[in-house]
Chains A and B, each alone.
Chain A
Amino acid sequence: MVEDETGLRDVLCVLLRSRKYEAIPTGSVSEALGKLEAADVILTDLKLGDGDGLGVLKAVREKGGGVPVIVLTAFGTVESAVEAVREGAYDY
């Protein structure tokens, strides 16, 4: 879970845990990139303090991992959705 808003991150992690998923909370692009190996699926916010969700997506694809990446945002635009899907996002 890549989300720099602490409150939202906690809620999403608790939600995932309540559905019996193990959630690894991370607050920035750099922190997330350090923990990529441990993840089976990545949920990332679009706007992050040190970059954005599309950056996470690109980094995952560059590392050659087939891990699905889902981009979450409260401010979706068609442009960023198209870019996310083009970069290989699993969902937006």
Chain B
Amino acid sequence: MVDTRQRAAPVGQAGPGEVAGFMTRERFIWGLRYGEVTAVGIGVLYPLMRLLGFFSIRTGLAFLVLGAVLLPANLVGRRLYRRSTHVGGIVLLGIVLNVFLLIVAIHWTSGVQSPFLPLFAILAVGSSVHVDFKTSVLMSVLAGLLLLAMGLLEYEGALPHVPLFSHREDPGLYLQLPYVVFIPVSLLAFMLLVSYGSGSLAGKIREREIELRMQEKERWAALGHFSAVVAHEIKNPLGAIRGAAGLLGRDDLSAPDRTRMSDTIRGEVDRLDRLVVDYLRFARPREPNLREVDLGEIVRRVENQVRMEFAPSGVKLDCETGGRPHRVRADADQLFEALLNLVQNARQAVAVGGRVWIKVMPVGPSAVALEVNDNGPGVSIELRRKILEPFFTTKAKGSGLGLSVVKQIVDVHGGTLDVGEREGGGAAFKIVLPEEA
């Protein structure tokens, strides 16, 4: 997994690529919104705590003033941010302001003993999720140092201590140096921990978002391919049918040509029909009829089927099924179709005099591989994933469904399909299926 926190753009700069740029901007705005949430939190918490007997009226009023400053400051910051080009500065200013005002609030609620200390976690989560981890660390350090300074000033008596309870005795932690140091340090550690946790969780979510977006993009691209392929595959037979029908309407056509043209129409209509059946089969695959199948048997069926095709093209086919049967739970017809597809593809990929190998061999104790290798030009690394996508074809003519049907079949059998390079050059397609005990 790529660490998004490190990938995040520096404050005020667009991230790499449009998507990242967009998300960075959104994150800044969210960072400022967190400040608003904190401000509203303080404003709402005060009356509630006053009811419970916390604070003096004086502290409470100061508190409301603080909330009243914090909220508009964040709102103005967000407006400014939307308009300004110096966004980094505004975000940093916003964070410093929020931390500073929160420290003031904490001073008014009994300093290092304040129950509001955990509010820093909201700021930490906000900045690490919506800005970046680095900014969050900076903010945590700032908060820790300010709290330490405040605690020391109260300890020394330079700053008056404001007790939290108006009617209860103060525990007096601010008078003990170990607490004055320990509490800011623990706050810093806590903020860093929260920043790290929420930042990496957000990174994962963001990555998933990008992945989903890419998938959608790919789906549209596949639809584009699909349209182009369908248009091509349909337009050609339609052209032939139109031409043949036009010729049949002429009186001067000879009897043999007349027969020929009506045969052409029939042939092209059959072809269109097959095309529709192919597409439908891809769109709504048949449930596999699983039973125990020997892969060697499948290889022999494919071998018999393609012998006639291989002979005129001068391509040599070698089959190696190993000494013993390799049993898998599978739909024999679907596996046959998958292997046939791979073998026909291999034959088309090699030149006259080329070679194609089919191999069955065990992979570890509980899996078996079905390999189709050829000594053709091979598949470039960039294309290895693409060629398995539906409607993608490198051939001048083809539905682009062959390999995606193979992938679909392998998937429903709980297997894997890998495209690689044969040792010595050429393509290597490898189906791995779980073997029956």
Contacts and interface: CB of A to CB of B under 8 A. Distances in A.
Contacts of A74: 232, 235-236, 239
Interface stretch (A2-10, A31-39, A57-65, A77-85): A2-10
B376 to A, nearest CB: 14
A14 interface: yes
B53 interface: no
Given A7-B264, A7-B267, A49-B396, A18 B239 contact: no
Interface stretch (B183-191, B246-254, B414-422): B246-254
- Which among B252, B260, B268, B396 has the greatest number of chain A C-beta atoms within 10 A? B396
Contacts of A15: 243, 247
A14 B232 CA distance: 23
A10 B397 contact: no
Nearest to B263: A10
A59 B267 CA distance: 32
B141 interface: no
Given A15-B243, A18-B247, A7 B253 contact: no
Given A5-B240, A7-B264, A14-B261, A52 B247 contact: no
B244 interface: yes
* Size class of the contact patch on chain B: 20 to 34
Contacts of A47: 396-397
Contact of A10 (B237, B250, B264): B264
Contacts of A18: 247, 250, 252-253, 257
Contacts of A49: 395-397
A6 B263 CA distance: 11
A24 interface: no
A5 B243 contact: no
Interface string A50-78: 00100000000000000000000011000
A19 B271 CA distance: 28
Task: Give me the 3 closest cross-chain CB pairs, A-B, nearest first.
Answer: A7-B240, A11-B243, A8-B240
